[in-house]
């Protein structure tokens, strides 16, 4: 199995999770919840997902000079992630997220970015050689947009493949979209970027076509358990997902992106890489928490084998 290097640039958070019967409405208090705490943050989640899927991963991030930050770095290293590009910030705390998870597996999340918001263009330039020597750069939107643009520009100039997961949902400037190899929004994020309502394959196709017209190389729209719609030069169509009993969908998109990066770096065709990523994401929603839910390679392979798909 090739050990190609994946660089993930993005956020690291500590998630504080309350499992409740249902997500509270505005002004409503629901008691009887169960509390837990877990490592999270989209960048960190994707780095861990890529590492556990079999990738060789370097993470570029900022954490606070505090207990949460120290614990995060120790946990990354334990997963085999190269942490020499994880900076400790003395002026901001580590990022945190407060998460409600309903019994149906749906979630509601509030994030205090802390040190994540202080990852700068200067930091990116400091790690230019790390990005230039990568086989894949993976990013999200929990760090400043100008930082994402700087990293995408470095990657594009060196021909490094990129995955941008435009989450949380926000408009992305056309100049950045034009630098992106693969864009992976979910239904809501696709609507923010295109104005197209995405509920099924038809809506996903329309949104994907709109994104490609905006300059994206490959548009890959995730639709939860339904799977993902892919529009690229080599493949166009729906890649079906896997039906599982959902417990918590918190990190499913992050797991998808990390696993996708690994499969592509292993040389798999795009459709096969999406199958692999769908399997990893399906496994993750059967467990509570962000990083605790992320499956390891042997679990993904066994899951695919049990479903009659190639691992």
CA distance 111 to 15: 9
| CB atoms inside a 10 Å sphere around CB 242 | 17
Our answer to whether residue 254 is catalytic in this structure is: yes
d(CA 279, CA 277): 5
Which stretches of 223-267 are assigned E, i.e. beta strand? 227-231, 236-240
Containing 219, the helix (H) or strand (E) segment is strand 218-222
Instruction: Name the active-site residue from 82, 89, 248, 254.
Output: 254
- Please name the residues in contact with 298: beta carbons below 8 A apart, sequence gap of 6 or more: none
Contact in structure between 225 and 241 (CB atoms under 8 Å): yes
Joined together, the tokens standing for residue 81 give 């992630």
Neighbour-count burial of 75, counting CB atoms closer than 10 A to its CB (0-12 exposed, 13-18 middle, 19+ buried): middle
Q: In whole angstroms, what is the distance from residue 15 CA to residue 13 CA? A: 6
Other C-beta atoms within 10 Å of 105: how many?
18
Length of the chain: 311
Find, among 203, 168, 199, the residue nearest to 185 by Cα: 168
Tell me phi and psi for residue 111, to 5 degrees: -125, 135
Q: Nearest Cα to 37, choosing from 102, 95, 98?
A: 98
Chain Cα centroid distance, residue 143: 13
Which active-site residues does the annotation give? 254
């Amino acid at each position: 199995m090739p050990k190609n290097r994946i660089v993930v640039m993005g956020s690291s958070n500590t998630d504080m999770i309350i499992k409740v019967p249902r997500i509270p409405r505005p002004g409503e208090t629901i008691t009887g919840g169960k509390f837990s705490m877990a490592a999270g943050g989209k960048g960190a989640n994707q780095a861990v997902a890529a590492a556990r899927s079999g990738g060789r991963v370097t993470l570029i991030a900022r954490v606070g000079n505090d207990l949460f930050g120290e614990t995060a770095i120790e946990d990354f290293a334990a997963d085999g992630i190269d942490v020499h590009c994880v900076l400790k910030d003395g002026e901001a705390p580590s990022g945190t997220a407060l998460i409600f998870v309903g019994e149906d597996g749906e979630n509601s999340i509030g994030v205090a970015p802390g040190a994540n918001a202080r990852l700068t263009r200067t930091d990116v330039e400091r790690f230019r050689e790390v990005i230039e020597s990568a086989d894949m750069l993976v990013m999200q939107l929990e760090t400043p947009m100008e930082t994402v643009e700087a990293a995408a520009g470095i990657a594009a100039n060196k021909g490094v493949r990129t995955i941008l997961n435009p989450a949380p949902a926000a408009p992305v400037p056309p100049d950045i979209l034009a630098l992106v190899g693969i864009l992976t929004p979910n239904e809501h994020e696709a609507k923010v970027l295109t104005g197209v309502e995405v509920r099924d394959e038809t809506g996903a196709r329309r949104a994907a076509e709109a994104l490609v017209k905006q300059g994206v190389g490959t548009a890959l729209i995730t639709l939860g358990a339904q799977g993902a719609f892919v529009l690229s030069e080599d493949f166009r169509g729906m890649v079906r997902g896997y039906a599982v009993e959902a417990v918590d969908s918190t990190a499913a998109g992050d797991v998808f992106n990390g696993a996708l990066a690994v499969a592509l770096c292993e040389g798999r065709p795009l459709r096969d890489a999406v199958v692999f990523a769908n399997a990893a994401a399906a496994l993750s929603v059967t467990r509570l928490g962000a990083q605790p839910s992320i499956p390891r390679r042997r679990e993904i392979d066994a899951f695919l084998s049990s479903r009659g798909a190639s691992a």
